[in-house]
Structure 1
Amino acid sequence: MVVSAASEVVRRSHPLAADVGDTQVLLDIEQGLYFGLNAIASSIWRRLEQPVRVDALCRALEADYAADAGRLEADVLAFLAQLEAQNLIDVRG
């Protein structure tokens, strides 16, 4: 499924997460893979604990990071697409 601003996303329960300094590391035991997330990606991952619409997620991030709305949405959509490709999130809508 293609992630869009109208999609609702939520993280899956199977990856284990641990904070390592300013980054967060995800370990997906099912796939035998690990992922390192920078500070902004870690912030997004934490916000995906509960289902959230992508447009609402972007608005919250804009407030926190004072980022350009168009650029931020494009970056968030690209990151969410990567998470979905690795089977780390569920996407609805």
Structure 2
Amino acid sequence: MRCYWDEEDVWFYFELDAEGWVIRQIELQGPELTPIAAASLLEWQQARDAGRLAEYDSMFGGTAEPSASEWEGHDPQPLTCEEFEEVWNMARRQITERAARNGS
């Protein structure tokens, strides 16, 4: 699903598990839809366990903590798996390329 937050001009894209918990999250900001986050819960947990959480967070961000059933004030729009994967791949590529250019 995806939701728009007009206060920050950000589109949020979410992949949820069967219980409604976010397992991957993408954030695209502004009219150019610049990726500012593309986080995976599994990767986040692995980074935490390896002591590299700050590095992961600074590059890819994090995922929403409450399950989707607890969210308020959003108007979710459905997405297909293919649509999510297309946005995920674009966001990860752009974030990784930006980090490489900046020497991160």
Structure-2-length-normalised TM-score: 0.27
Higher strand share: 1
Structure-1-length-normalised TM-score: 0.29
Bigger radius of gyration: 2
Where relative contact order (Cα < 8 A, 6+ residues apart) is larger, the structure is 1
